[in-house]
Amino acid sequence: MEQSHVSALQSKHAGIERQLQDEMNRPLPDLSIVQTLKKRKLRIKEELAHF
């Protein structure tokens, strides 16, 4: 059970990373979107640290 949860979190983390890279590669990145994505990524990373 835990392994599938960890896998799901890692998958989410990777997806957010892709969204973040896409936003940063735009000519005028929306900094509020960047900030939101970074916060989501950090929350997932913190949750992963508990395993």
* Calpha distance 14→5 (Å, rounded): 14
Window from 2-6, 17-21, 31-35 with minimum mean pLDDT: 2-6
* Calpha distance 18→51 (Å, rounded): 23
- pTM score: 0.85
Indicate whether 1 pLDDT > 70.
no
Residue 25 in contact with residue 33, Cβ under 8 Å?
A: no
- The per-residue pLDDT for 2 is 85
For the chain, what are the domain ranges?
A: 2-49
Residue-wise pLDDT tens digits, 18-32: 999 999 999 999 999
* Calpha distance 36→5 (Å, rounded): 22
